[in-house]
Amino acid sequence: MSASQEAFETIVAAVPEFRPQWQEFLASWQGGETPWYLAMGAVAHYVVDAFECGKTAQFKDLFSAIELVLQNADGEVQNLLWVGLFENIQNVASHRSFGASVFRPWLGRRA
């Protein structure tokens, strides 16, 4: 298992509600290499949509998992999280009335 896949699986495990979307995403890329930045973008959309719907109970576990991954991540995985996840959250949320700053309370020391 690649470091990117391991990081992604750790994060997805923290948000079981995202698993069906993850399975659908994997099915659409079956037979090819998984595009991890696009996968993190899918998580980012899920996070922003969940916030918009008031489904934030899972955010503590999600952002704790991200923090855990960042503690042990190599440069490639760190970049995947910074660009693929955090920048996507920022971009997607910037088109919503609440913006990206609403996610700050869940960010850990490394995020």
Domain assignment present for 111: no
Residue matched to tokens 């949320």: 93
By the 10 Å C-beta count (0-12 exposed, 13-18 middle, 19+ buried), 27 is classed as exposed
Tens place of pLDDT for every residue, the chain, 111 residues? Answer: 789 899 999 999 999 999 999 999 989 988 788 999 999 999 999 999 999 999 999 999 999 999 999 998 999 999 999 999 999 999 999 999 999 999 999 998 766
Domain assignment present for 38: yes
DSSP state of 81: I
Q: What is the pLDDT of residue 108?
A: 82
Q: CB–CB of 77/33 below 8 Å?
A: no
> Among candidates 4, 2, 1, which has minimal Cα distance to 80?
4
The domain tally of the chain equals 1
DSSP state of 40: H
Q: What is the pLDDT of residue 81?
A: 95
Q: What is the pLDDT of residue 111?
A: 60
Residue 38's domain comprises 3-106
Q: What is the pTM of this model?
A: 0.91
DSSP state of 3: H
